[in-house]
Structure 1
Amino acid sequence: MIGGQPFTVLDMTTLAGGAKRLAFASGETFTMRPTTVLWAARRFDPRLSRRRFR
């Protein structure tokens, strides 16, 4: 969630200086610097088969 809005990350790219660019399903991007504080959670448990959720 950023600003109270949930986002799903599609891709992460490494940038110069240790930064990371997140690409979201909505088409927006977010650049994290090494000092960025971020809380994240998985939508699905990767240890479980996704077939259960369909």
Structure 2
Amino acid sequence: MKGVLISVEVDATTVAVGDQIMIGGQCHTVQDMVATGLGRKRLLFTTGETFTMQRTTILWAARRTDPRLRNRLY
């Protein structure tokens, strides 16, 4: 993959597939997401584990981006 990893703050509305999230001291990569209502999302990680983000949950994620692209939305 091209680009660099940057650190971004994510919540249930801004989390994206491919984000690498640290939970419990372990890095998990988001493979898929499902909206479960009331602003929540169930994240499926590449390891097969799941995590439900409440609408008020805020985490830090590593996200790959290409700094050469202008107006790149994180």
TM-score by length of 1: 0.74
The 3 A distance-change label for structure 1 pair 46 and 10 is farther
Structure (1 or 2) with the greater strand fraction: 2
Distance in 1 separating the partners of 2:52 and 2:26:
16
Larger RCO (alpha carbons 8 Å, 6+ apart): 2
Q: Segments of 4+ in structure 1 off by > 4 A?
A: none
Shift of 1:16: 1.1
Aligned with 1:26: secondary structure?
coil
Say which of 29, 35, 39 aligns to 1:18. 39
Q: Quick one: structure 1 residues 14 and 47, their matched pair in 2 at CA, closer, same or farther if it must change by over 3 Å?
A: farther
Distance 1:47 1:11, change over 3 A: farther
Identity %: 57
**SS where residue 65 of structure 2 aligns?**
coil
CA RMSD, aligned part only? 1.6
What's the TM-score, normalizing by structure 2? 0.56
Equivalenced residues, count = 47
